[in-house]
Amino acid sequence: MKRLDASAPGFAADFAALVDDRRESASDVSADVAAIVARVKAEGDAALADYTARFDRFDLDASGWSISKDECAAAYEGLAPELRDALNLAAERIRAYHAAQLPEDRDYRDAAGARLGARWRAVDAAGVYVPGGRAAYPSSVLMNILPARVAGVERIVMVTPTPDGAVNPAVMAAAHIGGVDEIWRVGGAQAIAALAHGTPRIAPVDVVTGPGNAWVAEAKRQLYGVVGIDMVAGPSEIVVVADARNDPRVIAADLLSQAEHDPTSQSILFTDDAAFGDAVAAAVAAIIPTLGTAATMATSWDAHGAIILVPTLADAIPLCDRLAPEHLELAVDAGEADALFAHVRHAGSVFLGRQTPEAIGDYVAGPNHVLPTGRRARFSSGLSVTDFMKRTSFLALDDAALAAIGPAAVALAEAEGLPAHALSVRNRLQSGPL
């Protein structure tokens, strides 16, 4: 774990190294993924069956390619009531938050008399990738499916690996709540290729979303353009800005809430009190051995964690912007949190005040927990309904509107050396009213 002091002479270089640290997998999987994608495109279901047997030790032809809606409904009914209620509460809040994101169509006339506007429509089909290994999270199922359903997508397809045939009942129950149309027991880069190109069994989709390992992320990157994607996501990260009025054990748990995701996750604390930073470090060390994810947390914290001392918490915000973190906690009094938040430019999601842990956002808050990582919050946003929609602009001119703006179009077309463009407009201008 790194300890940095913003007042120290070498801080600028040390912090720049922290910002530039790329925690994505060091191995180059692009060639392997390209081969998998090409084979799935050429061989279809046969390639999926072979890869599933090799990587997941599961025979699709013998045991079944899909999970039925009835199986998902049974899994839902079989959940402990407390977990079923929690999933329903999460779904209700996620659905309501994303319903408020729905964009409005526009249709208006401007000063020239031209009719302008745009119409939003959902894509026809969306594919959702659900991991089945280290990260099998029913919350991610809801976060990906419900925005698509709210957007109006008619066909939602889920792909998920089932290693050794094992299926997570909570994941199936979440699929039931979300209303998935199809679930296929395939995973990895080969599942992304199947969603993009289609196979005899699996019809192609228009958009693919959802988290995955390095092979899944690379497949999404390579197939963008064949399909739309949400983002190419990397390891999880959290930045906490906290003063000494917090309980060190509370802030330590917040930092570890992301460290437990993966050994390459990152947790960073900014504080204006050195003694508080020491107390948080001690609390982290005390908590790690007590939890079942100790090995993952310890590796993440030791390799990528950091505690950074700043003169004031306001000084932390420009540094946070350079990190552009996936999650940013402002663990201070409500009024101060709002004041700091007013200056935040780059973050995937921000959690305001002492009583707003990031973990709430992962489950039941409502905003999406599929967020940009690896400093991508500088230019991208979390998953929303608009990731499952597209905007079609439209234009309608009458004689007066064409006369008002047409000559300028002719001049620009001629300046660009495109005479047919100019002729297309000039013909109408010269022919007069129709």
Residue 335 belongs to a domain: yes
Query: What's the whole-number average pLDDT of the chain?
Result: 95
Is 137 in the same domain as 284? no
DSSP string, 194-251: HHHH--SSS---SEEE----HHHHHHHHHHBTTBEES----S-EEEEEE-TTS-HHHH
Q: Kindly state the DSSP code that residue 66 receives in the 8-state scheme.
A: B
Q: Is the pLDDT of residue 26 over 80?
A: no
pLDDT tens for each residue of 267-301: 999 999 999 999 999 999 999 999 999 999 999 99
Q: Give the pLDDT confidence score for residue 196 in this predicted structure.
A: 98
Q: Is the pLDDT of residue 134 over 70?
A: no
What band does 233 get if pLDDT is binned at 50, 70 and 90? confident
Q: Give the pLDDT confidence score for residue 28 in this predicted structure.
A: 83
Q: Give the pLDDT confidence score for residue 24 in this predicted structure.
A: 66
Domain count, the chain: 3
Residue 356 belongs to a domain: yes
Q: Give the pLDDT confidence score for residue 104 in this predicted structure.
A: 97
**What single letter denotes the amino acid at residue 104?**
E
Q: Give the pLDDT confidence score for residue 8 in this predicted structure.
A: 95
Rounded Cα gap, residues 10 and 7, in angstroms: 9
- For the record, the structure tokens of 225 come out as 């353009």
Q: Give the pLDDT confidence score for residue 25 in this predicted structure.
A: 56
Is 168 in the same domain as 205? yes
Is 143 in the same domain as 283? no
Is 245 in the same domain as 210? no
Is 223 in the same domain as 244? no
pLDDT tens for each residue of 180-190: 999 999 999 99
Residue 313 belongs to a domain: yes
Q: Give the pLDDT confidence score for residue 372 in this predicted structure.
A: 95
The domain that contains 219 carries what CATH number? 3.40.50.1980
Enumerate residues 6+ apart whose C-beta is below 8 A from 171: 130, 136, 137, 138, 141, 160
Q: How far is CA 271 from the centre of its chain?
A: 28
Q: Give the pLDDT confidence score for residue 27 in this predicted structure.
A: 64
Pair 243, 277: CB distance under 8 Å? no
Is 87 in the same domain as 136? yes
> Which range is least confidently modeled, 34-43, 226-235, 411-420?
226-235
Enumerate residues 6+ apart whose C-beta is below 8 A from 405: 112, 114, 397
Q: Give the pLDDT confidence score for residue 135 in this predicted structure.
A: 59
Domain stops at, among 174, 196, 229 = 229
Q: Give the pLDDT confidence score for residue 212 in this predicted structure.
A: 87
Share of the chain above pLDDT 70, in %: 98
Q: Give the pLDDT confidence score for residue 433 in this predicted structure.
A: 65
Pair 410, 422: CB distance under 8 Å? yes
Per-residue pLDDT, averaged over 131-158, amounts to 91
What band does 133 get if pLDDT is binned at 50, 70 and 90? low
Q: List the one residue out of 387, 7, 352, 44 whose CA is nearest residue 203.
A: 44
Is 240 in the same domain as 218? no
Location of structure tokens 């390459």: 264
Is 238 in the same domain as 225? no
Q: Is the pLDDT of residue 259 over 60?
A: yes
Residue 388 belongs to a domain: no
Is 269 in the same domain as 338? yes
pLDDT tens for each residue of 294-352: 999 999 999 999 999 999 999 999 999 999 999 999 999 999 999 999 999 999 999 99
Please give the residue range of the domain that contains residue 61: 30-106+119-229
Q: Give the pLDDT confidence score for residue 132 in this predicted structure.
A: 81
Cite the active site residues: 326-327
Is 218 in the same domain as 361? no
What band does 432 get if pLDDT is binned at 50, 70 and 90? low
Is 266 in the same domain as 410? no
Residue 7 belongs to a domain: no
Residue 9 belongs to a domain: no
Domain stops at, among 229, 261, 276 = 229
Residue 295 belongs to a domain: yes
Is 277 in the same domain as 422? no
Residue 276 belongs to a domain: yes
pLDDT tens for each residue of 72-120: 999 999 999 999 999 999 999 999 999 999 999 999 999 999 999 999 9
Domain stops at, among 229, 259, 275 = 229
Q: Is the pLDDT of residue 21 over 90?
A: no
Q: Give this prediction's pTM.
A: 0.93
Alpha-carbon dihedral of residues 278, 280, 282, 284, nearest 10 degrees? -150
